[in-house]
Structure 1
Amino acid sequence: MTPEDIARRIIDANNYLTLATADREGRPWASPVCYTPDGGSDFYWVSRPDTRHSRNLAERPEVGIVIFDSQVPLFGAEAVYLTAYAEQVAASDLARCAAIYSSRFPELASFGAARLQAPEALRLYRAHVLEASVLINDDGPDVRVPVTVPV
């Protein structure tokens, strides 16, 4: 299995990513968000614009992302690491991106464009991947291998 195959398996098998943001002064913040991938180069999630991570994105759009299964046995972890540029999806692209986000699980079907703009409380966000790597479980020290985007 190639590193790209491992990354795709991890992305497809998990429901949450950990989004790492920082405020204007560089204070870090990490948040789990339910995501939908779009071909391995874009990831979508829904959040309120007044949450700490959303406010951070408005000031500083560079993010780190990790996707992993926290239920594997100790020392059995595999993970996908991403650096990305993230932003709230613009109104001009909202219908298309909301359709992508809501397509992954039946529970997300109600997240259409109308639910993701004023006067509603939630907004749709997108992270565009700039670089990616995968942590490979090889029964030794952590080994991270760069992978081609899209993963």
Structure 2
Amino acid sequence: MTPQDTARRIIDANHYLTLATADRDGRPWASPVYFTPDGGTDIYWVSRPDSRHSLNLTARPEVAIVIYDSQRPVFTAEAVYLTAHAEQVPDSDLIRCTPTYRSRLPDLTTFTPEHLQTPNPLRLYRARALEASVLLNNDGPDLRVPLTLPI
């Protein structure tokens, strides 16, 4: 299995990622978010615009993301690391992007474009990967291999 294949398997098998943001002064914050991948470079999630990580994105759109299975035994971890640019999806893109987010949630009747606009409390967010690497569990701990985008 190639590193690209391993990364794709990790992304497809997991539903939560850790989103690392920083505020205007550089204070870090990490949040778990349910996500849906799209095309190997974009990742979508839903959040409140007044949550700490969403407010941080307004000040600094640069983020770091890690996708991994937290149930793996010690020294067998695999993970996908991304640096990305994140933003709230503009209302004009919701009709195109919302079905992608909902693709992992086919029975969910909420999270339509109408549910993700004012006056409702949630918004759709997107991170576009700029760099990616994968942590492989072969050849010893912490072997990180750069990936080619899209994954």
TM-score interval for Structure 1 and Structure 2 normalised by the shorter chain: over 0.9
Q: What SS does the aligned partner of 1:5 have? A: helix
Q: What SS does the aligned partner of 1:133 have? A: strand
Q: Structure 1: which 4+ aligned runs deviate by more than 4 Å?
A: none
State percent identity of aligned pairs.
71
C-alpha distance in 2 between matches for 1:63 and 1:105: 25
The one-letter amino acid paired with 1:105 is L
What's the CA shift string for 1:20-78, capped at 9, x where partnerless?
00000000000000000001100000000000000000010000000000001111100
Q: 8 Å contact 2:132–2:149 — kept in the other structure?
A: yes
C-alpha distance in 1 between matches for 2:12 and 2:72: 16
Offset of residue 138 of structure 1: 1.2
The one-letter amino acid paired with 2:90 is A
Q: How many residues align?
A: 151
Stretches of structure 2 that go unaligned for 5 or more consecutive residues are none
Q: 8 Å contact 1:80–1:135 — kept in the other structure?
A: yes
C-alpha distance in 2 between matches for 1:62 and 1:107: 32
Please name the residue that 2:145 is paired with.
Answer: 145
Please name the residue that 2:53 is paired with.
Answer: 53
Q: What SS does the aligned partner of 1:106 have? A: coil
Offset of residue 104 of structure 1: 1.4
Q: What SS does the aligned partner of 1:21 have? A: strand
Please name the residue that 1:85 is paired with.
Answer: 85
Q: 8 Å contact 2:30–2:53 — kept in the other structure?
A: yes
Please name the residue that 2:11 is paired with.
Answer: 11
Root-mean-square deviation (CA, aligned residues, Å) is: 1.0
When normalised by structure 1's length, the TM-score is 0.97
Stretches of structure 1 that go unaligned for 5 or more consecutive residues are none
